[in-house]
Chain A
Amino acid sequence: MSLNREDVKTLANLARLKLSDEELTIAEKELDNILAYVDRLSSVKTTDVEPLTVPAKSDGWREDVVFSCDEVTREFILSNFPVRRGDLLKTPGVFEHPKGGR
């Protein structure tokens, strides 16, 4: 499988990564090399083989109860906000084209 420049651009877009022209050129070449290596998987016979789903036996069940965090933890969470107003987190507008817009 081989990737062209447009494919890499689409992937970067999907992954929300703005890549420079130079980065796109490098990524195209390097991803091709890696894909050439991993392509050996396609020649492994996997008819009737189930995909591995659980890496280890575990018991993931627990009570579905709410537990809150203490005041210290809460303050650390708030202090990590990139932009904070009081206890509120400021973010860019989520709806870039509000109703009635374009």
Chain B
Amino acid sequence: MKRLNELTIAEAHRMFNRGDISSVDVTQACLDEIHSLDGSLHAFLDTYAEDALMSAKQADIRRERGDINGQLDGIPIALKDNLLHQGKTVTAGSKILSGYVSVTDATVVRKLKEQGVVILGRTNMDEFAMGSSTERSVYGPTRHPRDPDRVPGGSSGGSAVATAANFCLASLGSDTGGSIRQPASFCGVVGFKPTYGRVSRSGLIAMASSFDQIGPLTRSVEDAAIIFEAIQGQDPLDQTTSDHMLFHPAWRDDLNGVRIGLPRQAWEGGMSNGVRKTVSTAVEVMESAGATVVEINLPYTDEALAAYYILMSCEVSANLARFDGMRYGLRLEDLPLFETYAQTRAEGFGAEVKRRILLGTYALSQGYYDAYYLQAKKVQTLIRHAYETALRDVDVLLMPTTPTTAFKIGEKTVDPLAMYLEDIFTVGANVTGLPAVSVPCGFFEGLPVGMHLIGRPFGEAELLAFARVYEEKAL
């Protein structure tokens, strides 16, 4: 028998409907679990016990009246600390935003509130989502729920731990180069990044706007679909949101007729034997469910990471120019104008943020723009063509989410490039804008391994259906 805080969204919804449990029961169970375990894990930067219980109570009252919003009504979730939630502090894990109060709700937060979701708190993250370990939060690291000496991945590490450790039923994260999928893989939960343009970024503190996408971290593929369906859609506040036909789940029983492509360049590259073995076993499960598995050619694996680091840094240097100490956030006082900017930013930003601002400033500066930014944008076109070609031959691409399982705290902080290589399998989906999901597929030496599936543009319904068939067959 599961405890209430261990339920999936779908399970809790069914139990609400039967009148077995209330939203207050589930919310209280989550708050109790946070209270007893989060002191050591540090997934949350803030919890809103009083507000959460109040929203839960309202959901229960609505249900008694027979006035139910939908599957998310009364479901307790957590938000990454880069999503605006009106009246609550939001810092993006940075000192420069310490004490900043959200002026409004992010579009995704507004939509979830309208569905009756209970918001438990905000979760820790690498500063401005720049990192793959959640060690780069100025508010201290988050720890892996199965081994406190290891990282949970990042940058949505707090959200991944909150879902994996049963502090909430699900959480929201953001994914710029793998920041939902990599921590989901490390912590053993489902992490889903929709197609670029599916979910409004309005109210998401921007890192690299052409790559950023919000998505769920959940305990099942079905739950990921439930949250995604609620937060998707065109938004006048984000002009990159698409008018494409909305996502609606279309589940299937098997993988008959489905062609799965294993990109040779990814599988031949560096990955731990444990990861290779575990994901290979998952591939066999998909084969036995009816899929045809073929090896395919997908060039530019290393180039995708290089192009990503150039383009992302350029966008970071532009996006973070707004943190100038003038209108909000930290400001050092009694200095001339230039020093106010330069010292405030020096004081407010951490080492990784500064490094990427410098790299972006360099790649955009006169004389280097063509060699770096423009060349990276051209390579991006080639990468997109390569993925489009591959996805004409197969229905989905499959590889591990990460080359290794969760690493030790401190292992990669001294070598930025080693940390960047964490994203080698995930950045492709950001560089091309494609939807991708990490699904737990077993353990190696006690640590979770994730299987990474990349689908066609706006093909989330089939992508998630494939993932769910695997999930059910693997049980």
Residues of chain A at the chain B interface (Cβ within 8 Å): 1, 3, 7-8, 11-19, 23, 26-27, 30-31, 33-34, 37-42, 44, 46, 49-53, 55-60, 62, 69, 72-73, 76-77, 79-83, 89, 91-94, 96
A92 and B379 within 8 A (CB): no
Bound complex: CA A51 to CA B234 (Å): 25
- Distance of A32 from chain B, by nearest CB (Å): 11
Known contacts A42-B375, A51-B374, A82-B326; can you find 6 more A-B pairs with CB under 8 A?
A34-B417, A40-B303, A41-B306, A46-B378, A49-B382, A55-B240
**Does the CB pair B104–A27 fall under 8 Å?**
no
Q: Which residues of chain A are near B343, meaning CB under 8 Å?
A: 18
Identify B365's interface contact among A11, A27, A41, CB under 8 A: A11
CB distance from A53 to the nearest CB of B (A): 8
- The closest CB in chain A to the CB of B381 belongs to A52
Q: What's the Cα separation between A31 and B368 when bound, in Å?
A: 14
Is B102 at the interface (CB under 8 A from chain A)? yes
Complex Cα distance A23/B354, Å? 10
Q: Is the CB of B86 within 8 A of A27?
A: no
B-chain residues with CB within 8 Å of residue A26 when the two chains form the complex? 351
Q: Complex formed: what's the CA distance from A30 to B362 in Å?
A: 13
Chain A contacts for B210, CB-based, 8 A: 55
Q: Which of B87, B211, B300, B375 counts the most chain A CB atoms within 10 A?
A: B375
Q: Let me know if B197 is at the binding interface, CB within 8 A.
A: yes
Q: A33-B417, A76-B87, A76-B103 are in contact. Are A58 and B239 (CB under 8 A)?
A: yes
Cβ contacts A to B, 12 pairs, < 8 Å = A11-B361, A11-B362, A14-B361, A17-B357, A17-B358, A30-B355, A49-B381, A57-B244, A73-B104, A76-B102, A79-B101, A80-B103
Contact residues, B341-388 vs A (CB, 8 A): 341-343, 345-346, 349, 351, 354-355, 357-359, 361-362, 365, 368, 371-372, 374-382, 384
- Interface size grouping (class) on chain B: 35 or more
Interface residues of B (CB under 8 A from A): 86-87, 100-104, 195-197, 210-211, 234, 236, 239-244, 300, 302-303, 306-307, 309-310, 317, 321, 324-331, 333, 335-343, 345-346, 349, 351, 354-355, 357-359, 361-362, 365, 368, 371-372, 374-382, 384, 416-417, 420, 433, 457
Query: Is the pair B306, A82 in contact by a Cβ cutoff of 8 Å?
Result: no
Residues of B within 8 A of A34 (CB): 309, 355, 359, 416-417, 420
Whether B416 contacts A41 by the Cβ 8 Å rule is: no
Report the Cα distance A30→B196, complex, angstroms. 31
**Chain A residues in 8 Å Cβ range of B333:** 83
B416's closest neighbor in chain A, by CB? A30
Residue of A nearest to B313 (CB): A34
Q: How far is the CA of A41 from the CA of B241 in the complex (A)?
A: 30
Tell whether, in the assembled complex, residue A58 and residue B325 are in contact, meaning their CB atoms are under 8 Å apart. no
The answer to whether A46 touches B354, judged by C-beta atoms less than 8 angstroms apart, is no
Bound state CA distance, A18 and B336, in angstroms? Answer: 13
- Closest Cβ of chain B: how far from A59's Cβ, in Å? 5
Given the interface pairs A51-B374, A52-B384, the reply to whether A27 lies near B324 with Cβ below 8 Å is no
Complex contact B326–A80 (CB within 8 A): no
Q: Specify which chain A residues have a CB less than 8 angstroms from the CB of B417 in the assembled complex.
A: 33-34, 37
In the complex, chain B residues whose CB is within 8 Å of the CB of A27? 354-355, 358
Chain B residues whose CB sits within 8 angstroms of the CB of A69 once the complex forms: 104
Residues of A contacting B362 with CB < 8 Å?
A: 3, 7, 11, 31
Say whether B327 contacts A19, CB under 8 Å.
no
- A44 with B303, Cβ < 8 A, contacts A18-B343, A18-B346, A51-B381 known: yes
User: In the complex, A73→B382 CA distance in Å?
Assistant: 44
Indicate whether A15 sits within 8 Å of B433 (C-beta atoms), given known contacts A57-B242, A76-B102, A92-B335.
no
Report yes or no: A38 in contact with B433, Cβ–Cβ below 8 A. no
Of B240, B335, B349, B375, the residue contacting A46 (CB under 8 A) is B375
Q: Is there an interface contact between A58 and B241, defined as CB atoms closer than 8 Å?
A: yes
Residue contact B378 to A49, C-beta cutoff 8 Å? yes
What CA separation (Å) do A83 and B334 show in the bound complex?
12
B358's contact among A11, A50, A60, by CB below 8 Å, is which?
A11
- Tell me if A46 and B379 are in contact (CB < 8 A): yes
B240–A60 contact, CB under 8 A? yes
CA A77 to CA B100, docked complex, whole Å:
10
A38, A58, A80, A83: the one contacting B242 at CB < 8 Å is A58
B310 x A41 contact (CB < 8 A): yes
B345 / chain A contacts, CB cutoff of 8 Å:
15-18
